[in-house]
A and B are shown apart, each in its own frame.
Chain A
Amino acid sequence: DGLCNTDDIERSKTEGKELTKEEKQRLRKEKKQQKKNKEKNDEKTSHEGEKKKNKKKKEEQPAGSASQPPAQPSPKVPAPAPPPPAAAAVPVPASEAPAPADKPAKSKADLKAERRARQEAERASKGKKGDVGQPAPTGKLKAPPSELQPVVKRLPEHVQVDNPEVVKKLAKKLERQQIPLRSDYGYKVSLFSHLHQYSRKAPLTQQLGIPSTVIHPAIVRLGLQYSQGIVAGSNARSVALLHAFQQVIRDYTTPPNEELSRDLVNKLKPYISFLNQCRPLSASMGNAIKYIKKEISNIPSQCKEEEAKIKLLNCIERYINEKIVLAAKAIAKYSIEKISDGDVILVYGCSSLVNHILCEAFEKKRKFRVIVVDSRPRLEGREALRRLVQKGISCTYVLISAVSYILPEVSKVFLGAHALLANGYVMSRVGTSQIALVAKAFNVPVLVCCETYKFCERVQTDSFVSNELDDPDDLIVTRKGKTQLEHWQKVPSLGLLNLVYDVTPPDFVDLVITDLGMIPCTSVPVVLRVKNVDQ
């Protein structure tokens, strides 16, 4: 059918007649179809190629890929394909389970090789970023989504900082929203040059006017508190964010000829950009924002402004109550079952949830003692120590370098999480994966406590792709009057790296305690799917 249509169109073209509207539409459709078919195949090869490149970057190679459940329809599964000659090949063990998509690809090996070569040439000519000397995966992922595989998400802007076009686009977007752009500070270690690195001494408020009119004062205050670290910790940040949104909603008035459901969402966008500039949003904050936006857009248009505002304020209260406060209670209840008398529990850093659990368990008269592990530069363990000792729990305090010495004493490890990723990885404060690794080596059970609102759709298998770089000057310390790193910027070969998060693979985690119950790490996608169905 398509063929004869093209013939018709060809004929009318050659006859010099103008194509009718229908013919033009048909032509357009066919072109699209052809393009899609071509790109579908390109996508398949591109994804396989990209996985290889990611693998090259990763430290832990076979373990990571082997742990992935094979034969998943998701395109993110690293499907080891036979290495095409054009790409910089990583010798992938052929014994690993090939995905079903491989079978048709194998038979078209030559075509694939050609397409690959063409792609490489394209990418090279576009001159995108080259990390580890490889052409960037960005170009591939920007290809339009194919029909077979689920939607391919674009790389977020905050992990493409060394791509000048993306930076320019971000600057333009911020200019449109009248939000100042925060400039990066200091030399960035090359592995992490794709992330932002800001200085705490250069707050964003320097470039804002006083009094702030573009951005609501509650949001400015919140942004300051984020960037100075006064509000730190996933739960605290979400609660503070929702509190600020409550104030914004209270002070909001619908402009004439506008609907609250659409205008309020537009009002929130620059605020979110501003907060993002102050400190990158956490996964829990992202979920809270999604929830709020959904609630706002679901306000019926005939609802009066006052009613709508009250409704929204109540929604926020309810969200916090259900997802944070009650969830903490539920998790504490489940965890107390897991804590037996005589336990020695190891905790890392300051997780509000884990502290809450331990305090509750102590009140329920469980006999246990706690070992608090701490690490520089944040030294958050001191705050956790203070809270536990204040309750009367007997604690030991060590630095992370002593973890393997103290682990023989430990019976359980309780860890908090910043987010749980869709492939079961746990994203938490840097150092957590180390603790989990050592605990696994000593056969000590590792329990992660995390509320369900922190589960996010993102997938990450290493800590490089997406992370947060904190102020490098935090690493500078003065001992006995001497500050050795004071002039680190003058030494050309020296870079200071202050990572905030890292990811722990699910094979180091024995149990995840959530408000829905105690689940294994690999059941996170199930929870996400159930949540999506609910909503």
Chain B
Amino acid sequence: MELQAVLMAAGGGSRMPDLTYNTPKPMLPVGNKPLMWHPLNLLERVGFEEVIVITTKEVQKMMSTDPKMKDVKMKLDVVCIQEDGDMGTADALRHIQQKIKTDVLVVSCDLITDVALHEVVDLFRAHNATLAMLMSKAHDFTETVPGQKGKKKTGEQRDFVGVDQSGKRLLFMANEADLEDGLSIRKSIMRKHPRMHIKTGLVDAHLYCLKKAVVDFLADNKSISSIRGELLPYLVRKQFSKTTNCPKSKDDADDQTQKTADGSTNSTELLICSRDEPLLQLAQERSCWNDHRGDMSEAYHGGKLRCYVHIMDQGLCYRVNTLAAYIEANRLASKLLEEPAVHPSAVISERCQMGPDSIIGAQCQVADKTSIKRSTIGNSTTVKEKVKVTNSIIMHGVTIEEGCNIHGCVICSNAVIGRGADLKYCLVGNGQQIEAEGEAHSFHTSTFNMLSLFSPPTVTRGT
């Protein structure tokens, strides 16, 4: 077997608390399918037959009841971990170390992309790389996010990614938070790769191909707890460290298990320095190929540990971990899905005006004289007469009474919007009720601030 897929679905969704306080992030509907369905669909399309899903018990329960998850034909091996949130992604990988028998492809549950996965995996295969990851040029989110007062400058720290001239080899990776005085690059890197392109504004898709040796390394080094935060920068740095490039005296290409068992080889040193087998070495020596030119060193500068990145400049790649991303993803979900936008079991009256990029879920009821444009409507939602819904995301089981005007909102499951309500750029939490004739602008409701709107006073600029 070549690759095993691991889906990380235990994340909390800490950056969108209003959406996730009731529904765990992997089950948030995007295009009327749970969020984790999208990466699973990607894996299934590419040809995977089994996926190990690391998630919480709550999500597992919801997965088993959700009809959309039944569409997934692959065998899902669900591993549950505690919900307390202390377990990082690397910890989770360590947890399932026994199940990992070959190289592993780690995907995050909030990744929605249409990348040709073979581009990433080909880098991993062709160069015998230790790590291959996917990144994408970031797109600005154009939609107004409910609850945000104007365009807020993202307070997130930038990521600096350094790639070589070909744009494929990953040379440098650091987050602004870790760089106190400035960006310093080791001389050894500059000597080997005199031309480096440093990019910011790239979105890390959290899709990684890792060699099996890395998973074994994680098992020995319990201090590493996050793949993105700690393991990746470590691997990228290790490419150029002196110890990896010194020839090893011991070279048993066959007995990998022995090395982990006895402590004679420094396990932190890594079996990651994949001792290329002697025949492969011979082939490389005889081959007239070099990945760089201009200096006297052989291919890959003799380095055994190599990290590669594939940077997508076209196509969709979203990580749905903020509200803005969530809204954007819903907008584009209709492009991604091959199913018809309107579910066949939905009952839509003829006098309803529906735009082409709206998605209507199963068993919906849409009454007369409604107008639905650029919106996503979830399953079992009832929309009564004379309702105008534009640019909104309506989740499952919502009831919208007559005469409502909903613009740019996110309405979570089982909410009830009273008659004649006028909502602009609001986020209505789960099970909330908006009173009739209420008007709200840029408002968030959640269990924390149960504000009921009475008619007729207008409430603007809420929390």
Contacts and interface: CB of A to CB of B under 8 A. Distances in A.
Interface residues of B, number: 31
B190 interface: no
Contact of A239 (B2, B46, B122, B286): B286
Contact of A231 (B117, B287, B293, B296): B287
Nearest to B49: A213
A339 B47 CA distance: 57
A207 to B, nearest CB: 9
Interface size class of A (residues with CB under 8 A): 35 or more
Contacts of B126: 221, 224-225, 228, 230
Interface string A330-354: 0000000000000000000110100
B288 A221 contact: no
Contact of B283 (A236, A350, A384): A236
A242 B288 CA distance: 18
B120 to A, nearest CB: 9
B280 interface: yes
A349 B289 CA distance: 12
Contacts of A220: 2, 125
With most chain A CB atoms within 10 A of its CB, the pick from B128, B277, B284 is: B284
A210 B2 contact: yes
B286 A352 contact: yes
Interface in A221-270: 221, 224-225, 228-233, 235-237, 239-240, 242-243, 246
27 contacts: A206-B118, A208-B47, A209-B46, A209-B48, A210-B46, A210-B47, A211-B2, A211-B4, A211-B47, A213-B47, A217-B1, A217-B2, A220-B125, A229-B289, A230-B126, A231-B289, A233-B286, A233-B287, A237-B283, A239-B286, A240-B280, A242-B279, A352-B288, A380-B288, A383-B288, A386-B293, A389-B296
A240 B283 contact: yes
A246 B288 contact: no
A357 B320 CA distance: 59
Contacts of B47: 208-213
Contacts of A242: 279
Across the A-B interface, the 9 shortest Cβ-Cβ residue pairs: A209-B47, A350-B288, A211-B2, A236-B287, A217-B2, A236-B286, A243-B279, A240-B283, A352-B286
With most chain A CB atoms within 10 A of its CB, the pick from B49, B118, B126, B277 is: B126
Interface string A276-315: 0000000000000000000000000000000000000000
A236 B284 contact: yes
A198 to B, nearest CB: 15
A18 to B, nearest CB: 59
Interface in B287-302: 287-290, 293, 296
Contact of A221 (B1, B128, B282, B287): B128
With most chain B CB atoms within 10 A of its CB, the pick from A213, A235, A239, A352 is: A239
Contacts of A230: 126-127, 287, 289
B327 interface: no
A107 interface: no
Contacts of B289: 229-232, 383
Contacts of B1: 211, 213, 217
B214 interface: no
A139 interface: no
Given A210-B46, A224-B122, A386 B128 contact: no
Nearest to A203: B122
A231 B290 CA distance: 10
A390 interface: yes
Contacts of A213: 1-2, 47, 49
A243 B289 CA distance: 18
Given A235-B286, A380-B288, A210 B277 contact: no
Contacts of A206: 116, 118
A259 B316 CA distance: 50
B78 interface: no
B203 interface: no
B118 A210 contact: yes
B332 interface: no
